[in-house]
Amino acid sequence: MSDRYAPIGGQAVIEGVMMRSPKMVATAVRMPDGSIQVKSREFVSISRRIPLLGLPVLRGAVVLVESLRVGIQALAFSAEAAVAEEEGKPKSERRFGTLGLGMSFTVAISFLLGFLVFFYLPLKLTDLTGVRHGLTYNLIDGAFRLAFFMIYIVAVGMWGEMQRVFMYHGAEHKTIHNLESGQELTPENAGGFSRFHPRCGTSFLFLVVIVSLIVFCFLGRPDTWQARLLRFALIPVIAGISFEIIRFAGAHYDNPLVKWVSEPGLRLQRLTTREPSKDMLEVAIAALRAVL
């Protein structure tokens, strides 16, 4: 597979961009002195080493877990690099000396809150409606979940302190578009592409909400704790199905039907991306070149 068609993904971090290819992961960060610091390492997904985990749907759940781990590591590196701690300072005295532990705690709390808001709370609110019919119950439950997701996206999009991260998010997308076009990787070329991409994480999360609504409609009304536990256990399967859809959309985006299906997720990206500056595109290109 050529570099142009390699399945590249990425993530905006603090003052930088993380890029991931099938064999490498790299994070590039703009330092306070204007230079770009790049950290890269080899990374091969477990789904490529264990054939069973590379099967459709299963590989999506694996990619989700691995992406979260890689993304947390990239965020930790970007936070420490952007602050540019004094090299002579003892590690025990550095401001981010316990960054890994602190970030792990933050991620754990975020997962718990996400579970409560997007899965547990919709069920409890739907219970309060008194609806007994299974299909109606699940449609209301899904509507609550979608409403909470939209509120979350809008709130994040309005968060002032996240604007530079959103600009780097846009730089990540533009640079990947530049690679996929076959044109030379330059800030000028990348700047001419869209800041929206069909394989974006925002689109993926939107798909997870929609797919969960469809899947849960087949399960009836969850009257027992076992039935509710089954829903929670199906979350990795739902993520896997969503991954396959978004993977297909990325590979066949020229198809009019695929474009139509992808449109809601692309519109949501207006809230989680911003137009990047030239120096941000330079950072994204540095990360991309490192994984190629």
- Between residues 168 and 66, the one the model is more confident about: 168
Q: How far is CA 256 from the centre of its chain?
A: 25
Residue 4 has pLDDT above 60, yes or no: no
Q: What is the per-residue pLDDT across 86-105, written as a single tens digit (0 to 9) for each? A: 444 454 444 444 445 555 66
- pLDDT at position 86 is 40
Q: What is the per-residue pLDDT across 211-257, written as a single tens digit (0 to 9) for each? A: 999 999 999 899 888 998 999 889 889 999 999 999 888 888 888 88
Neighbours of 199 (CB within 10 A): 21
Please give the average per-residue pLDDT across 195-215, as a whole number: 92
What is the value of pTM for the model shown?
0.84
- pLDDT at position 92 is 47
How far is residue 243 from each of residues 88, 118, 142, measured CA to CA in Å? 45, 19, 19
Q: What residue ranges do the domains of the chain occupy?
A: 3-85+92-291
- pLDDT at position 2 is 41
- Confidence bin at 127 (pLDDT 50/70/90): very high
Residue 275 has pLDDT above 70, yes or no: yes
| Mean pLDDT (the chain, rounded) | 86
Q: Tell me the angle at which helices 163-181 and 256-272 cross, rounded to the nearest 10 degrees.
A: 150
Please give the average per-residue pLDDT across 38-45, as a whole number: 90
- Confidence bin at 194 (pLDDT 50/70/90): very high
Residue 161 has pLDDT above 80, yes or no: no
Please give the average per-residue pLDDT across 66-71, as a whole number: 87
